[in-house]
Chain A
Amino acid sequence: MKTELLVIGGGPGGYTAAFRAADLGRKVVLVDKRERLGGVCLNVGCIPSKALLHAARVIEEAREMSAHGLAFAEVKPDLDKLRDWKQATIDRLTMGLASLARQRGVTVVSGTAQFTGAHEIVVAGTDGERRIAFDQAIIAAGSEPMALPFIPTDPRIIDSTGALELARIPERLLILGGGIIGLEMATVYLALGARVTVVEAMDQLIPGADRDLVAPLHKHLRKRCEAILVGAKVTAVEPREEGLDIRIEGAEGARTERFDMLLVAVGRRPNGARLGAAAAGVKVDASGFIPVDGQMRTNIAHIFAIGDVVGQPMLAHKATHEAKVAAEVASGDEHARFDARVIPSVAYTDPEIAWVGLTEGRAKAEGIAIGKGVFPWAASGRALSIGRDEGMTKLLFDPNTGRLLGAGIVGPNAGELIAEAALAIEMGADATDLALTIHPHPTLSETVAMAAEAFTGTLTDLLVPKRA
């Protein structure tokens, strides 16, 4: 088999690169180890977790309204049906991808790819081995959940993939890792009735986000979890018949407790070292990342790499953006470049946390002068009318030019709201631009304009103390 462009990995990065290159007239072969396209994101990541988070939200909102005149019977989750529904969502999307690949003439090969040279891979599939010669390649091999060496193998010890399988609802669940994935799963399992403890090694949950954004989530979770232990770690796991005896060491000393299930969500590891890249001369660093330049080229000029395998943040929307750059450069567009100024991050927890660009923490650490505009959702009619007043919209501006440098939002739908800030940063909009853009009322999106007005001094929905 021979192709012009080979894409390794069928996740959001891989299929986007393959489709874009095909649209540019290239002959493309896409190799993925899964039978179905979509990678981690569609199969065992973003999409199934969002389906379950939606279920969790419905449960929580029903519970919240019971105090306000809408009493429902307690929800009885039917895990089989819930799983079917989640799977139907995945199926619909992966089938859609398969059809898009067909329509574009992209050849999809399933199996595990290994480089055998700078212009050839061998794919080991269920029907044997197959060699594919290529002129150019794009590596989009993604990442996988990181395992910890001291944690034994046991069916009750799961990673994010296992958590999304929703095999059962444990009575007591320990989540190791208070990052985005761990807390999203905490949100799901809490709604479905598990008692949850979260252990995070850093001194705050979601360490990449500003503390003031995390605070409402932390407060919300603290009320509902058995415990949230920050600055703590799990040091031993002993599987017993009756449960998992887990030793936790933290500020308040060490203790051993019994749990029914342990979810390990301590991060993801790139798959750069699993491809035999050395046979092609492609450099892979010690952590398994493949270094690339601004055009997504590896050290080998005709081989590109994109997505999780090239570096943090490991996000599908970063991968798809990089995918287009790589496909365009590989197809002869020398001007394509990864030139995005910011990449938004979202935790789809309850409440959601989203941020983009400069954070207050980084501004402080690097001595970057900022002006801040904050609008607490307690003053938003829409936030109150959905029964959630803990949210906050925070915008960070350049104090001289007023240009937006960063934004952080916590509250329901923060992930949807952050896109406006990303656009504003890319366009070079300043506080006045945001303040003078008419936002529909009553919406949560208004809070962005109001945070800008808090900075410009024109806000009337709150009494902001005058700045000196």
Chain B
Amino acid sequence: MTLPITVPDIGDVKDAAIIEILVKPGDDVAIDDILIVLETDKATLEVPAPSAGRVHSISVAIGDKVGFGTAILILEESTGAASAPIVAASSSQAAPPPPPAPAAIEPITVPAPPPPMAQTPATGLQPHASPSLRRFARELGVDLTRITGTGPKGRISREDVQGFIKQAIDRPAASAGEGLSLLPWPQVDFAKFGPIERQPLSRIKKISGANLARNAIVIPHVTNFDEADVTALDAFRVEVNKTQGAKVTMLAFIIKAAVAALKAHPNFNASLDGDDLILKRYFHIGFAADTPNGLVVPVIRDADSKGILDIAAETAALSALARDGKLKPADMQGGCFTVSSLGGIGGTGFTPIINAPEVAILGAARAQMKPVWDGSAFQPRLIMPVSLSWDHRVIDGAAAAGFLVTLCTLLADFRRVSL
């Protein structure tokens, strides 16, 4: 991944002179390493590297006058800094022989001024390797400065390079799996920039946060969006509340519709277990409940065998328990599928994170009256945006789109739920 580095905002200065360039193409830099030094009439300013990586090309020279936004260089960001890949990404400059079409021509990199080529050898620190071996190392993307040669006087042999590669390949295998090598978390002294207050995270936030982070990283999420016409359904809901003296929310209908959609699309009522998919023959639907201390997901058991009024009463009761912090672990276990409804609050759509080990989650945003073309005129219809995040290891895009179509059809004509 390449990152163009430009001159940062240095105040109202348009002609700061570059007085030092501390890197050259091919150099590896760590975050905050100084790249160039600028001089204005007031002060000298250092421009640090915003992230670790390798300098790909430099587009300025000493003496150039620059200002805010001037391109300085292109950095190839490294994916992992602490344990930077030993095998350097040499393919970055790869160019397949068929060149880009004329229309696509753009200056891709501005290389550094021609280096004084005759002035290469400075010290004995250069790798002790012959030209043919240096080429061999380039082909494999090996940085020879990282190899200790085993030949006489430290000469690097072909076998040394091969051994180095073998070792590099073996190493990740040993610690297979969750070896995500990420950058260290940025350490910022916020108090330097203004008054702050420190507040410990709630227990729920700590637990749900860890789960959400794992789910977000491990599951290949994709989110599909659709819109459900809930004009008739909402009118029905209002009528039910009036005549039955109940308090039925849209959530209850969505849960019921979700059950019907899960029945039509059984792969969504599933969990991944190694190389097997566990298909569930029961329908326990979780719903996201907001509490002062954070988010919890109570579960409506056997939602397929419950009526709307029962589901509405149960979501209300579980939400009340959740707000009081009285939910029992059992109340939050066994879910097959989760619904997260923000309809009561607002928003036009969002991408919910799957509640593992489930394989999909439905998000519902606020329904709004919208003009809908019926073929001859615009009709005011109540439209509810819905989103479906799904695990791409289990589900594919066509199935997800089909699930949402089913769901939206059900919500548009709720009679179909009973079919």
Knowing A357-B121, A425-B121 touch, does A293 contact B112 (C-beta < 8 A)? yes
What DSSP secondary structure best describes chain A's contact surface?
A: loop
Question: Do A427 and B130 have beta carbons less than 8 Å apart?
Answer: yes
CB-defined contacts of B111 to chain A, threshold 8 Å: 291-293, 297-299
**Pairwise interchain contact B124-A295, C-beta atoms closer than 8 A:** no
Spot the interface stretch: B91-99, B175-183, B214-222, B318-326.
Answer: B91-99
Task: Report the minimal beta-carbon distance from B111 to chain A, rounded to whole angstroms.
Answer: 4
**From residue A301, how far is it (CB to closest CB) to chain B in Å?**
4
Residues of chain B in range 74-130 having any CB-CB distance to chain A below 8 Å: 90-91, 93-100, 102, 105-124, 126-130
Question: How near does chain A come to B243, taking the closest CB pair, in angstroms?
Answer: 72
The reply on A300 being an interface residue by CB < 8 A is yes
B65 in the interface, Cβ–Cβ < 8 Å? no
CA–CA, A312 and B113, complex, Å: 11
Please, which residues of chain B bring their CB within 8 A of the CB of A281? Answer: 105-107
Contact A334–B131 (Cβ < 8 Å): no
Q: State the CA gap A285–B93 with chains docked (Å).
A: 23
Cβ of B118: which chain A residues have Cβ within 8 Å of it? 312-313, 342-343, 345
Q: Is B41 an interface residue (CB 8 A)?
A: no
Contact B95 A332 (CB under 8 A): yes
Bound CA span A428–B130, Å:
7
Decide if A457 is an interface residue (CB 8 Å cutoff).
Answer: no
In the complex, the answer to whether B131 meets A302 with C-beta atoms within 8 Å is: no
Give the docked Cα–Cα distance between A119 and B111 (Å).
20
Interface 9-residue window, one of A175-183, A225-233, A401-409? A401-409
Listed residue (B90, B91, B124, B134) with the most chain A CB atoms within 10 angstroms of its CB? B124
- CB-based nearest B residue for A208: B118
User: Which residues of chain A in 159-199 are interfacial with respect to chain B, using CB atoms and an 8 Å cutoff?
Assistant: none
Q: In this assembly, does B26 line the interface, its C-beta being within 8 Å of a C-beta of chain A?
A: yes
Are B25 and A302 in contact, with the CB atoms below 8 A? no
Check if B158 is an interface residue, CB within 8 A of chain A. no
Q: Which residues of A contact B120 (CB under 8 A)?
A: 340-342, 357
A251 to B25, CA, bound (A): 43
* Interface check B247, CB cutoff 8 A: no
Partner of A283, one of B94, B110, B122, B139: B110
Say whether B117 contacts A401, CB under 8 Å: no
B97 contact set on A, CB distance < 8 A: 4, 26, 136, 330-332
- Rounded to whole angstroms, the CA-CA distance of A88 and B392 in the bound complex is 74
Q: Chain B's nearest CB lies how many Å from the CB of A221?
A: 25
B91 neighbours in A (Cβ, 8 Å): 334
Interface flag for A54 (CB, 8 Å): no
Once A313-B117, A340-B131 are accepted as A-B contacts, the answer to whether A405 and B25 lie under 8 Å apart by CB is no
Q: Which residues of B contact A210 (CB under 8 A)?
A: none
A301 touches B121 (CB 8 A): no
B-contact 0/1 string along A85-116, CB 8 Å cutoff: 00000000000000000000000000000000
Give residues in B with beta carbon < 8 Å to A. Answer: 25-26, 57, 90-91, 93-100, 102, 105-124, 126-131, 134-135, 138-139, 153, 155
- A: residues with CB less than 8 A from B are 4, 26, 117-119, 135-136, 281, 283, 285, 289, 291-295, 297-302, 310-313, 318, 329-332, 334-335, 337-343, 345, 357-358, 362, 366, 368, 398, 400-401, 403, 405-406, 425-428, 430
Between A and B, 13 residue pairs with Cβ closer than 8 Å are: A4-B97, A136-B97, A294-B26, A302-B99, A310-B114, A311-B113, A311-B115, A311-B117, A312-B117, A330-B95, A338-B117, A368-B122, A428-B155
Extra contacts, 14 of them, besides A291-B111, A294-B26 (Cβ < 8 A), are: A118-B105, A281-B105, A285-B113, A293-B109, A301-B108, A330-B97, A331-B97, A335-B135, A342-B118, A342-B120, A342-B121, A401-B153, A426-B131, A427-B130
